[in-house]
Chain A
């Protein structure tokens, strides 16, 4: 056995392992860690000779080796190419993760973000040398304001949760300015994304959850009963995490305003309504927009994102620095809070996720006013079509119409011994990434499917047929429980032991200590 295969865990394998000499299985290549491939004397860069210059490190020069491996460029390229081949991706297939909006990521956007005029500009260059960059931010801000019908937007938040923080801090600052800082209770529906309560807590608020009604929406009476002089805000996702439009949203807005609170809207699901509904017409005070969802900036394996926050006139004065201003000589930037403004502070160094701004604007310009409306319609149409065709084999959690995603519960798996997790893993063997599982929490064994507008009819039909067949198999096959529980079988790795990972965390590679001489 080679050293590598030892490190990998051996190719003699456990149950069900297919034996090959190398441990590879066709295109499923076993790939050791980069640290297990290094050799002293190899390097992937050629650096010029050092100029003569006295060392001025104050006696703090590094002593001793770091422990990084040495590799040539081709080795590194092959390593990461092989790693990439172990990933599922939108480019490779339908990626129906509910609430994540895994839509096509146009490569034009990548190209634009890499124009030297955007990608190779330092954030603290003199403003006279970055007029185009500021124009881009200002243009994107304009598009976002028009699309949402809101008068202002804070551009700097780095991601959705960061945008939530931004919006909630605007609310807190507004209450402080109005001498209402005794308001510390925030109402959050049970179905909310976990970032909502976590954000409220970071802002110094306590969280009070609102139950859902039988149709998956905010229980209006329960919500109104919770209003009081200590309520700071409601945080509501709309369309909500069950994929449903909150029918009473205007009344909710009126009630929260009547009680002296503000309305935070989580814009994670804006893709369902962009161009059809302006959040500004619903009475909200602020909403973050995940540019990596609605406006197609790539998810990149978990970031980077971007989360600009649109603000009502009441909250706009409290937006954090920086923001772009129109000066007499073109664009300028307000960078200091407290300097003649009411900004609540600063959330991020420099100006925000510029690279994401370029991509989002390229996407918005590509679609235009007409295309963006079509985006929402096609996303909603695809989800409803999927729901209609799966409603007999799977069990929809709530009656439709739904918005951009279709929520099912696990009633169709009752008494089969097959769980939502098993169903999801079986989908992997069929060549799909699973849907979102066990979220939202208000539905038992939830399966949340968001096809997005960039799936074709043919692609949807194929996915629907697979889901239906799996559901029928779960219900009728004698060996269903064992068969599903064994999935996935055809992936680079089978089910992984998450319990072992958490009990004895191994979070980094360490060189093997040479074994002591044999006893």
Chain B
């Protein structure tokens, strides 16, 4: 059973074993509008917790995507290069950005779970 966590910058991470899958939340894609471009980290690239790992762009905005945890990138979602709309259509599923091998599982502590994130979003309104 995967563990799903959220950051205050609206990234999500789903962890199974020591492999995490990272993307942006449904709320984040809604705020951005139609995504037109993503820049993804290459496999092998080291990322830090809270460090910039990807870039996502809509027509009028560019946002950095920060890695929720530290680790080493194992895979990127190449489908996004040609069909960035997957992020709009299925942010938590087919719209994932990259997978990484966690270097310190303790990084998950302090991140929000589903309920915590829902409450956080409520507070933004």
A and B touch in the complex (CB under 8 A): yes
Interface residues of chain A, those whose CB is within 8 Å of chain B, are 498-499, 502-503
Chain B, range 56-78, C-beta contacts under 8 Å to A:
57-59
Kindly state whether residue B36 has any CB partner on chain A within 8 Å: yes
Chain B, range 12-60, C-beta contacts under 8 Å to A:
34, 36-37, 57-59
Kindly state whether residue B95 has any CB partner on chain A within 8 Å: no
Q: Which 4 A-B pairs have the closest CB atoms?
A: A502-B36, A499-B34, A498-B59, A503-B36
Known: A502-B57, A503-B84; 11 extra A-B contacts, CB below 8 A, are A498-B59, A499-B34, A499-B36, A499-B58, A499-B59, A502-B36, A502-B37, A502-B59, A503-B36, A503-B37, A503-B85
Bound CA–CA A494/B121 (angstroms): 36
Bound CA–CA A498/B36 (angstroms): 9
A206 to chain B, nearest CB (A): 16
Bound CA–CA A11/B42 (angstroms): 46
B60 to chain A, nearest CB (A): 8
A76 to chain B, nearest CB (A): 33
Residues in A neighbouring B58, C-beta threshold 8 A: 499
Residue ID in chain A nearest B37 by CB atoms: A502
Residues in A neighbouring B59, C-beta threshold 8 A: 498-499, 502
Residues in A neighbouring B84, C-beta threshold 8 A: 503
Residues in A neighbouring B34, C-beta threshold 8 A: 499
Residues in B neighbouring A502, C-beta threshold 8 A: 36-37, 57, 59
B28 to chain A, nearest CB (A): 17
Chain B, range 75-101, C-beta contacts under 8 Å to A:
84-85
B86 to chain A, nearest CB (A): 12
Bound CA–CA A503/B84 (angstroms): 8
Query: What are 13 of the A-B contact pairs (CB < 8 Å)?
Result: A498-B59, A499-B34, A499-B36, A499-B58, A499-B59, A502-B36, A502-B37, A502-B57, A502-B59, A503-B36, A503-B37, A503-B84, A503-B85
B95 to chain A, nearest CB (A): 14
Bound CA–CA A503/B87 (angstroms): 13
Residues in B neighbouring A503, C-beta threshold 8 A: 36-37, 84-85
Bound CA–CA A321/B10 (angstroms): 49
Bound CA–CA A502/B59 (angstroms): 7
B105 to chain A, nearest CB (A): 34
Residues in A neighbouring B57, C-beta threshold 8 A: 502
Residues in B neighbouring A499, C-beta threshold 8 A: 34, 36, 58-59
Bound CA–CA A156/B36 (angstroms): 38
Bound CA–CA A499/B59 (angstroms): 6
Bound CA–CA A502/B58 (angstroms): 8
B45 to chain A, nearest CB (A): 24
A419 to chain B, nearest CB (A): 12
B2 to chain A, nearest CB (A): 30
A414 to chain B, nearest CB (A): 15
Bound CA–CA A503/B86 (angstroms): 12
B70 to chain A, nearest CB (A): 25
B9 to chain A, nearest CB (A): 18
Residue ID in chain A nearest B33 by CB atoms: A499
Bound CA–CA A484/B54 (angstroms): 36
B84 to chain A, nearest CB (A): 6
Bound CA–CA A499/B83 (angstroms): 12
Bound CA–CA A498/B34 (angstroms): 10
Bound CA–CA A343/B118 (angstroms): 57
Bound CA–CA A499/B33 (angstroms): 9
B79 to chain A, nearest CB (A): 14
Residues in A neighbouring B85, C-beta threshold 8 A: 503
Bound CA–CA A502/B34 (angstroms): 10
Residues in A neighbouring B37, C-beta threshold 8 A: 502-503
Bound CA–CA A502/B57 (angstroms): 10
Bound CA–CA A461/B57 (angstroms): 41
Residue ID in chain B nearest A503 by CB atoms: B36
Bound CA–CA A503/B88 (angstroms): 13
B82 to chain A, nearest CB (A): 9
A207 to chain B, nearest CB (A): 15
A260 to chain B, nearest CB (A): 32
Residues in B neighbouring A498, C-beta threshold 8 A: 59
Bound CA–CA A88/B85 (angstroms): 33
A502 to chain B, nearest CB (A): 4
Residue ID in chain A nearest B85 by CB atoms: A503
Bound CA–CA A503/B37 (angstroms): 7
B59 to chain A, nearest CB (A): 5
Bound CA–CA A498/B58 (angstroms): 10
Bound CA–CA A503/B85 (angstroms): 9
A255 to chain B, nearest CB (A): 33
Residue ID in chain B nearest A502 by CB atoms: B36
Bound CA–CA A502/B37 (angstroms): 8
B83 to chain A, nearest CB (A): 9
Bound CA–CA A499/B84 (angstroms): 11
B61 to chain A, nearest CB (A): 11
Residue ID in chain A nearest B88 by CB atoms: A499
Bound CA–CA A503/B81 (angstroms): 9
Bound CA–CA A498/B33 (angstroms): 12
Bound CA–CA A198/B102 (angstroms): 35
Bound CA–CA A503/B58 (angstroms): 9
- Which of B34, B57, B58 has its CB near the most chain A CB atoms (within 10 A)? B34
Bound CA–CA A369/B44 (angstroms): 66
B56 to chain A, nearest CB (A): 12
Bound CA–CA A424/B98 (angstroms): 39
